[in-house]
Structure 1
Amino acid sequence: MQIINYIQICVFGLTVYAFFNPYIYAVILLDIIKRSEDLQNIIKSITSNGRNLAIFTFLGFIGLLVYAIIAFSNFEQFFDDEGGVYGSTFILAVTSTINLGLRNGGGLGDALKQYPSPDSQAQLYWGRYFFDFTFFIIFNILFIQIIFGIILDTFGELRDERQALVKEIEGKCFVCSQDKNDIETKYILITYQRSEGVALSYIFRTQCISYAVLHYIHQEKKFK
């Protein structure tokens, strides 16, 4: 409840500030997250597992740093400052590796200059080949897919918990915590006993009395 009040106070403050800066109205549109339970679950799938995501992202950053060192040490001539792939300094090489390596579909190899000749520079060619190939496999396929997998698994767990909660709310009694099917079965049995069961019981008792009378008459005739 306190969190909801805090959000409402923030929205009110942004609304007041929007009179002086109309662009704030775009931020207020994020209020739809508070109104949509599905969007809240999507946000929770990221924030509830934030620690694991942060640790894995840090591990990925270390891997990118290692590849940036390799690229700056061995393939500095393939950086193109004129094309926006800056590599004149180590810091620029790191930023270019992280930025262009993750955003390009083929990894960092798509951003660097063309391959050297495999005939005249065979060692440099094969070094660049394995560098680009391993970068693409590790980061553009495995790293990003693992992050998406963590988010999707968390979202699936939240969805299962939500479905289990809804099933428990709809399928159990709030008072006695019994299943709905058990309650309906007991109700049907009680109703049967109070309606059809009474008639059948009456017929059964009538048959028993008739049998007892016939047995008594038969015994009387036998002794006579």
Structure 2
Amino acid sequence: MVVEYFVCEKPNFLYEVPIFKTVVNGIKNCIRNDIPLLSKKFKWIDTIEESKDSECFDIYLFSFSPIYRVLFLFFSLLSIGTFGYFYCLCLPYIFLNIDVMQDIVKAISRRRKQLFLMACFILSLLLIYAVLSFAIMSSFFDPGENNQFCTTLWQCYITVIREGLLDGFGAISVTYVGQNGANFKIYLWRAVFDLIFFVVISTISLEVITAILVDTFSELRQEKDTAEKDQKSVCFVCGIDNDDFERRGKGFAKHYHSDHNIYSYIYFILHIKSMSPHDHNAIEKYVSDKFGNDEIEFYPLHKAKVLGGLVLKKKDMKGMIDEMLVNT
């Protein structure tokens, strides 16, 4: 499976690291627009090429899909040669092509910046709580029975992250290690401390992350529903509504799959691009020139042979009807 994937997708691979190229292009644009003096001094910056649209479906060699397939092969060989436990790392391969999993990955990748910033914000708040705990509340940490370490600030930070995020009701549980029994004043300060932690971290911050993901899933579902509705109601090639074909033609399904089959247009474009320009006939040369200049006049926009040629847009038809009513 891994060999087949790389053989089939070999023409589409880009030997680039997308995140590095994005960072470099961002720095370049920033220097160009905001600091023109540096751009003049360091002229080599202009030699960095911008990302351009490719004529084929691009796959970054260092993206998730190729790298995981390499790891899949590596873990499989390790399982055969050493321990079978590595087979468990191959299980995600089953779910790579499932639509639900792809939507989850797409939602996380689309909001990765917001999620990363929110995670950094939560970690910074936890650091504040760790500093306060280390400075004035280290005696409440029980390294014996509860494994709550706070000898150093690093230990206190890890303990607050684990206890706070897993428990959710406070930085640590209320204990009286090194104290002379229960004390209401101490309990009162701990109640305020833990209540703020619960509201800020557990309730607001973590729920914001959930809201970001839920909103993204809703957005993806809406985009998918809109695309499916558009595919079922409008011809992708000519842009004519299915109602016109149902009333005046031979049905929208026949038109969509036969008259204006999108793959027929794709194959024709690929056929033209694979030929030498000297071998083009008149029609092929016309389409090749238009396609090379990013012009779309060769597509039958609002035209269909089965409907007798030109079909007016709804707004144009409404204007014509209004004009006829005025004249009468």
TM-score by length of 1: 0.73
Structure 1 unpaired stretches of 5+: 189-224
Partner of residue 140, structure 1:
202
Stretch moving more, 100-109 or 177-186:
177-186
Partner of residue 152, structure 2:
89
- C-alpha contact (below 8 Å) 2:174/2:190 kept by paired residues: no
- C-alpha contact (below 8 Å) 1:68/1:93 kept by paired residues: yes
Deviation at 1:9, TM superposition (A): 5.0
Describe how 1:29-178 pairs up with structure 2 within 5 A: 29-82=91-144, 83-109=146-172, 111-114=173-176, 116-118=182-184, 122=185, 124-178=186-240
Structure 2 unpaired stretches of 5+: 1-8, 14-58, 60-64, 251-328
Percent identity over paired residues: 26
Q: CA RMSD in A?
A: 2.3
Distance 1:105 1:5 in 2: 38
Distance 1:67 1:177 in 2: 59
Deviation at 1:35, TM superposition (A): 2.2
Deviation at 1:184, TM superposition (A): 1.8
Distance 2:236 2:121 in 1: 47
Distance 1:7 1:90 in 2: 37
Partner of residue 16, structure 1:
77
- C-alpha contact (below 8 Å) 2:164/2:170 kept by paired residues: yes
The verdict on how the C-alpha distance between 1:99 and 1:6 changes in structure 2, with shifts beyond 3 A counting, is closer
Kindly provide the amino acid, as one letter, of the partner of residue 80 in structure 2.
F
Deviation at 1:8, TM superposition (A): 4.7
**Structure richer in helix, relative to its length:** 1
